Amino acid sequence: MADKKSVLKIIAAASGIGAPDQRCALGPEAVMAALGRQGEVVVPPLSGGRQALQSFVATLATVTAALLETEQRIAILSGDHSCAIGSWRGVSRAVDGSLGLIWLDAHMDAHTPESSPSGYWHGMPVAALLGQGALGNGGAVIRPENLCLLGVRSYEAPEAELLQRLGVRVISMDEVNRLGLAAAMAEALTIARAGTVGYGLSIDLDGLDPADAPGVGSPVVGGIRVAELLPVLADLVLDAQFRALEVAEFNPINDVEQQTLQLVLQMLDLISGAAYESNH
Ligand SMILES: [Mn+2]
């Protein structure tokens, strides 16, 4: 386990084609530039329809699976959250068994192309990963009982209905506020670990409070505070079953004094196994 920090492999998935503001495609590169290193960068299609997205996520799944097969843990810097359709398919392939997933997000991301009023793919990855709708036609990569949403405070009825019908646990932001993040995360971990061989955490930065992470495309007031999140992440690092961290929806154009960039760097540092210092 020595020298973990130097060996953390990072995939930069620079796609923004699933969001109305496509500039979160710039997020992964901004982070890699700040780190002063090259990642296993996956070049996205510049534009295109559902075929382009499906081709991109297939490539991302292949790259992710190949990398995780030789690594204990990886990080994926995603542009908009539709990248998750590919990244978690890849993680699932590499762990070779049931995968658990904790989805920290202001939104449910559980629309299908059939139910979404806007049609934006970044609102659909959860449904796709559950094998639902036209984007999920590659099959489910996660069982509903091993998926837990955390911090949700903005959603539409068809999403809530789908998740309820499938039995997915959604820990709303109201519940997080009531329980505290540590207790909410403990429940999420129980779900993600139950009968699985590994699990991951997908962080949509809009799940955090905009005061802590202003550099996002779809901010929603009243989110998870960084001061609570970082100690939780520091605990996850100790768990060998924790295989991948995804950070999505960083929009550097909307950032304020590099606050969000610094936060992403801090999260990567924690995941690299660096000592956690309470400086918030
Ligand atoms: Mn999301």
Look up the CATH number of the domain holding residue 207: 3.40.800.10
**What is the residue range of 131's domain?**
8-271
As a residue count, the chain comes to 280
What tokens does 99 get?
């995968």
Task: Compute, in angstroms, the gap from residue 32 CA to the centroid of ligand 1.
Answer: 21
Does 277 reside within a domain?
no
Distances (CA, A) of 255 to 36, 200, 226, 247: 19, 26, 16, 15
The whole-number pLDDT of residue 274 equals 55
Does 2 reside within a domain?
no
The whole-number pLDDT of residue 275 equals 44
Interatomic CA distance for residues 96 and 238, integer angstroms: 21
- 43's CB contacts (< 8 A; 6+ apart) are 14
Nearest alpha carbon to residue 262 among 220, 223, 208: 208
Contact 11, 87 (CB under 8 A): yes
Phi, psi of 250, deg, nearest 5: -75, 120
Task: Compute, in angstroms, the gap from residue 278 CA to the centroid of ligand 1.
Answer: 27
Does 164 reside within a domain?
yes
pTM to 2 decimal places: 0.95
Three-state SS for 96?
Answer: coil
Q: How many domains does the chain have?
A: 1
Task: Compute, in angstroms, the gap from residue 26 CA to the centroid of ligand 1.
Answer: 16
Does 276 reside within a domain?
no
Pick out the chain residues at pLDDT < 70: 1-7, 274-280
The whole-number pLDDT of residue 42 equals 85
Task: Compute, in angstroms, the gap from residue 108 CA to the centroid of ligand 1.
Answer: 7
Task: Compute, in angstroms, the gap from residue 2 CA to the centroid of ligand 1.
Answer: 34
Active site residues: 81, 105, 107, 109, 122, 204, 206, 249
Interatomic CA distance for residues 222 and 233, integer angstroms: 20
